[in-house]
Homo-oligomer: A and B are copies of this chain.
């Protein structure tokens, strides 16, 4: 394989046509070089001060902003996402970098614990024990198609790995190579300005799966961050597990995000809920991990009002350009399969656009008994399709929730009179979901300290983690204990003089 012998191009999402310029297809030797450079950068990068690392994260944000409208325009062309959405997504991406910089400065992520020596303890003295968290090593990050900025080259995985002190090698998503290239340039510029070691960030791109496989197989890579399909995530997981030295894969994969409508809430505002639901369902052409793909409610007048309003709202929904022809095809096939299932009724179809990559939103309904008989009805259809499950009683609703796979979110619409019923479901939902929300919609994911964007398998490959929010940084850290190490050899944050948050004998100092 020769370096840069091949090229590929992005596509205009709305037409499916190729658009220039050419981008070099990364080769096997590019993978090796990027990973080797990341491994070489690791020693210097992990030793950077909190201040320097935080400044680097902030500089990346500044450089992304400095790309101006050109970035948004390119991203919009490549993804079909409107400029307003991408402006918001850019803000989220930059604010995420800034929030993570704050966390880096706080030094709380270092997780320092000190158990002072007890030389006089009997029968044995206790040594001096000091624990800190250290970065895992170079992290491979896979850009996602549905968030060209916030979950791609400078997205949550990159920000959290860099915050943890891990160099990053990104494999950009081939659906938006121009966007990725611009953002990669911004990161490299920030790295240079901030005096970061060469190799702290590497960028690979190209179509096909072999590139990503080679990246995960590379012995210098210590962990993987991925957001995408279940098939893609599981394939990377298998490669990672079969390495001579297996590595953790943090893959955020699939979720139908059940929305549960309780009786009082439905009675009070069934119509309003139906309309708002369609807004959440069709946002971004339904291409969200947290898209509400399943609605559970008791049959009755309230649900009828909800359905009526949802059907009306669906008719108003313009067909939206999907991210890629591949995603459009998978969506069309998925909703076709769903619609053809026994007992599944098609309630409404959004407007059928004439764009080449447009596909209409669709709403289905099914009796709960059919879902209990056929668990495949609970599988994700990625796009603006959702299934209303009409339950004849609360026991049926509970049975479905217990049969569900792991989920990123569950949503409860309830009024005061519904609280008892909601309270009964909470213990079930806590075991299945990463986030439980009331009287909102799952499609907004706040980047903050208490956010969890994760959940039991198959929502993610490691349900003990989150890929959004500052806790995401912890994925890329591991503990090391220093026993009786002379003070001058201790890392600065473990010395007596350090002003770093810590636990002494298990209690905050």
* A116-140 near B? 1/0 per residue, CB < 8 Å: 0000000110110111001011000
A120 to nearest B CB, angstroms?
15
For the complex, what is the distance from the CA of A245 to the CA of B458, rounded to whole Å? Answer: 8
Residues of B within 8 A of A458 (CB): 245
Nearest residue in B to A476 (C-beta to C-beta)? B464
For the complex, what is the distance from the CA of A481 to the CA of B436, rounded to whole Å? Answer: 6
The verdict on A430 contacting chain B, using a C-beta distance below 8 Å, is yes
Q: Is the CB of B483 within 8 A of A479?
A: no
For the complex, what is the distance from the CA of A489 to the CA of B113, rounded to whole Å? Answer: 34
Q: Which of A485-509 contact B (CB under 8 A)?
A: 485-486, 488-489, 501, 503, 505-508
- A438 CB contact (under 8 Å) in B131, B423, B448, B485: B485
Q: Is the CB of A134 within 8 A of B466?
A: no
Among A101-109, A181-189, A353-361, A382-390, the stretch that binds chain B is A101-109
The verdict on A28 contacting chain B, using a C-beta distance below 8 Å, is no
For the complex, what is the distance from the CA of A471 to the CA of B113, rounded to whole Å? Answer: 10
A391 to nearest B CB, angstroms?
20
Given the known inter-chain contacts A436-B481, A440-B484, A457-B246, please indicate yes or no for A426 contacting B127, CB distance below 8 A.
Answer: no
The verdict on A372 contacting chain B, using a C-beta distance below 8 Å, is no
Residues of B within 8 A of A127 (CB): 437, 440, 444, 446
Q: Is the CB of B246 within 8 A of A437?
A: no
- A489 CB contact (under 8 Å) in B43, B241, B422: B422
Q: Is the CB of A430 within 8 A of B480?
A: yes
Residues of B within 8 A of A115 (CB): 446, 448-451
**A interface, size bucket:** 35 or more
Residues of B within 8 A of A471 (CB): 113, 131, 479
The verdict on A178 contacting chain B, using a C-beta distance below 8 Å, is no
Residues of B within 8 A of A195 (CB): none
Given the known inter-chain contacts A479-B466, A484-B438, A488-B419, please indicate yes or no for A450 contacting B508, CB distance below 8 A.
Answer: no
Q: Is the CB of B126 within 8 A of A436?
A: no
* A433-477 near B? 1/0 per residue, CB < 8 Å: 111111110001010111110101110011111100011000001
For the complex, what is the distance from the CA of A395 to the CA of B88, rounded to whole Å? Answer: 53
For the complex, what is the distance from the CA of A246 to the CA of B237, rounded to whole Å? Answer: 11
For the complex, what is the distance from the CA of A130 to the CA of B43, rounded to whole Å? Answer: 36
Q: Is the CB of A113 within 8 A of B241?
A: no
Q: Is the CB of A245 within 8 A of B436?
A: no
Residues of B within 8 A of A136 (CB): 463-464
15 A-B pairs, CB-CB below 8 angstroms?
A: A106-B507, A113-B449, A131-B471, A137-B431, A241-B241, A245-B456, A245-B457, A245-B458, A248-B464, A419-B486, A419-B488, A423-B489, A436-B485, A454-B479, A463-B478
